[in-house]
Structure 1
C-alpha cells in the first residue's frame, strides 16, 4: 500500500526516537523504502529542525527535548462527530502530525444525533490530556449552540472544522477549518465562466458544513450576479434520491442547467436517476459535487470542491502544540484553509484532477 510523504516522515521520526542514531541505509531498510527517498525525507526533516544529519547517519537534534513535557509525551484528545471518509482524513492528518511531534493522539467519537458533547469530552479528559481538539455537534437545525461549558475545560481547547458564533464563549478558542463558503464560490465562479447565468443548489441539512455550503451559495450568487434559485433540500440523505432527481429535472425544465450538490454520495446516486429521465451530465446539465471524497470515481467523473481535510487535521495539532507550549502568551488563531476545485468532466470543463463527508 502506498503511503504519503507525511506518513513516511512520521515513521522515520519514530525509528530515530527508538534507535537514537541510525544510518540512512539502515533507516531505509527498517521502513521498507528506497534509500534515495529516505534521503530526501531526512533532508526535509533536517531542514525543519526535526532531525540532525552527520556522516551518513541521523539522530534527534539536541534541542528536541521540547517535544517532551514534564517527563512525558504530550497527549492531545480529539472529538469528532462521526467517522467516515471525510473525517477519516482529518483524523489521519492529525495523527501523522502528532506522531511527527512526539505527541499522542486520543480519539473520541460522538454522533450527529448526540444532544451533548460534554459526556464524550469528560471521558477523553480521563486520559490525562494536555489539550483538546473539538468538532462539536453544531447543525443548522440546532439554532443557538451551547458553548458555555467549553470555558470550564481544564485544558486548552481548539475547534476543528467549526467556526463559533462571534457572541459565544467558543469564539475565543483557537480554530482550524476549511473555508466552505469560499469553496462554494469556486464552484459558482467556474460555472459562471462556462456561461451559466443560473446555478441551483441541492444540499443536505444534517451538518454544520451543510449550513456553510448554503450560506456560501447565498453569498456567491449575490457576488457573481447569478439568478437566485430556491435551494433543493436533501431531507433524507441516501434515501430520497429519486425525489431529488425529480426536483432537479423540474428545475432543468425551467431553464436551470447547472447544479452544485452537497455531497458526493448524493451526487453519485443522482446521476443514473437523471439519466433515466433523459438528462446526462455534462450534455444536458452541469454538475459539481461538494466534498471530493469519491467524486473522481463517478460516471462521469464529477468536478468537485475539495476541502483540505488532511491539512486541517495536521494544522489543528500543530496549533494545539504551540498553544500547550506557549499558553495564553500566544494570540488566539482562527485559521481558515481554502478548498480546491478539481475540474473533471461532469460540468463540461476539462481536467484530470483527482481527490477523495461532513
Structure 2
C-alpha cells in the first residue's frame, strides 16, 4: 500500500527558514513587526514545502474566524441575492467568508440569528431587518462589529437605498402621464423601506389633492401580486405601484389573464429591477436599486471595523427609474 505523504507542519517551515514557530506564524499572518527579510524567507520556505496553514489553528491563534455573518429576511428575493453577491465577492477578495442566514421575515428569528451567528463569526451584517426601531437600537448596542443595510441606528455603520425618493419619482412620472387614480400595493408590515414609502405617499397626496391615491395591503412575492389582481381591477385605478418586482410580476400575469391590457388599461410599476424584470411581457417599468453596490459598501464598512478603523460615513443611494413598456397614459 502506498504510504500517505507526510503532512507539512509549521515546525517544518520554521526549521527550513531557521526561525521560531512564532516568527513563522506572525510572518504568514502579515504581522508588520516581522523584519521584511525574515518574512520573505519564511514565505519562501512555506512555498518550497507546499505548506498551507490550517484555518482552524490559525483562528485559534489570531482569535479570528475570517467569516462574517449576514442575516437577510428573505433569501428567495433576488434583490437580497444581489446584495449578497456584491458583499460576498468583496469579502472574498479580502480572504473572508460569508455565512448567510434567512430569518424568513420573522423578527424573533432575526434577533436569534444575529446573536447566535455573532458567536461564531467576526462580525454581523443585518440586511433590511424587520424588527421595530427600539428593538433594533437595543440589539445594535450588544453586537460589535455591526453594519446595517437599509436600516439605521445611532452610532452604527450603515448603507441604504432611499426608497422614499425613488417612489416619489415614480409617482411624479405617473402624474405627468396623466394618471389621477393610483393604487399602491404595500408590502411587509415591518419593512423600514415600507415606512419610507408611506411618507412619500403622504407627501405626494398632500401635494396633489386631485389624485385619488389609495393603498392596498399586499405581500412581498409573486403569489401576493397575483392574489391582488381582482382588488386592483375592481379599484378603478389606472396605475398600480407594486412593493417590489416580484409583486409586480405576479400582478402583471394575473391581470393579463383576466383580459386587462397593460399598459393600455392599466399601468404597472415595479421596484428593484431584478434580473428578469426586463424579460416580462410587456417589459416591466421599475426602479433600479443599486443592490450589488450596497453589498460592496457594506463590506467596506465591516472591513474597516474589523481593522480597528473608523468606518466611512453612512451611505445613501437613490434608485433610478427604469422606464420600459408597462407604463403609459391612462385610458381615455
TM-score, normalised by the number of residues in structure 1:
0.65
CA spacing shift, 1:109–1:277, aligned 2, 3 Å: closer
Call closer, same or farther: CA 1:341–1:152 in 2, change over 3 Å: same
How far has the Cα of 1:276 moved from its partner?
Answer: 4.5
CA shift at 1:100, angstroms? 2.3
Question: Contact 1:89 / 1:309 at 8 angstroms: preserved in 2?
Answer: yes
CA contact (8 A) 1:73 1:102 kept: no
What's the counterpart of residue 125 of structure 2?
A: 133
Check whether the contact 2:285–2:327 (CA below 8 A) recurs between aligned residues: yes
State the alpha-carbon separation in 2 of the partners of residues 201 and 179 from structure 1: 17
Deviation at 1:83, TM superposition (A): 0.9
Q: Does 2:155 match 1:172?
A: yes
Q: CA deviation at 1:309?
A: 0.8
User: In the alignment, which residue of structure 2 is the partner of 1:217?
Assistant: 201
- Is 1:244 paired with 2:236? no
Q: Is the alpha carbon distance of 1:115 and 1:136 closer, same or farther for their aligned partners in structure 2, counting shifts above 3 Å?
A: farther
Alignment of 1:194-343 (within 5 A): 194-208=177-191, 209-223=193-207, 227-234=211-218, 238-239=222-223, 241=225, 244-252=228-236, 256-293=237-274, 294-327=276-309, 330=310, 333-343=313-323
Q: Pick which of 311-320 and 79-88 moved more.
A: 79-88
Compared with structure 1, are the counterparts of its residues 297 and 226 closer, same or farther at alpha carbon in structure 2 (3 Å cutoff)? farther
Aligned in 2, Cα 1:232/1:346: closer, same or farther, shift over 3 Å? same
Q: Number of residue pairs matched? A: 266
**1:90 deviation in Å?**
0.6
Q: Does structure 2 conserve the Cα–Cα contact (< 8 Å) formed by 1:203 and 1:233?
A: yes
Q: 1-side partners of 2:125 and 2:110: how far apart?
A: 12
Higher CA-based Rg: 2
CA distance in 1, matches of 2:133, 2:210: 28
Unaligned runs of 5+ in 2: 1-60
CA distance in 1 between counterparts of 2:157 and 2:212 reads 35
| Gapped regions of structure 1 (runs ≥ 5) | 1-68, 164-169, 350-358
Q: Using a 3 Å threshold, how does the CA distance of structure 1 residues 289 and 240 change in structure 2: closer, same or farther?
A: closer
Partner of 1:82: 74
Matched, 1:182 2:171: no
Q: Supply the RMSD in Å over aligned alpha carbons.
A: 3.0
Which of 94, 98, 103 does residue 105 from structure 1 map onto? 98
- Shift in alpha-carbon separation, 1:270–1:128, aligned structure 2, 3 A: closer
1:282 and 1:239, CA in 2 relative to 1: closer, same or farther beyond 3 A? Answer: closer
Q: Residue 205 of structure 1 contacts residue 211 of structure 1 at CA under 8 Å; is this kept in 2?
A: no
Evaluate the alpha carbon distance shift between residue 106 and residue 244 of structure 1 in structure 2; reply closer, same or farther with a 3 A threshold: closer
Partner of 1:122: 115
Shift of 1:106: 2.9
Give CA-to-partner distance per residue, 1:173-217, whole Å, 9 cap, x none.
111111111121221122122222442212223451334333332
1:176·1:336 contact (CA, 8 Å) conserved in 2?
yes
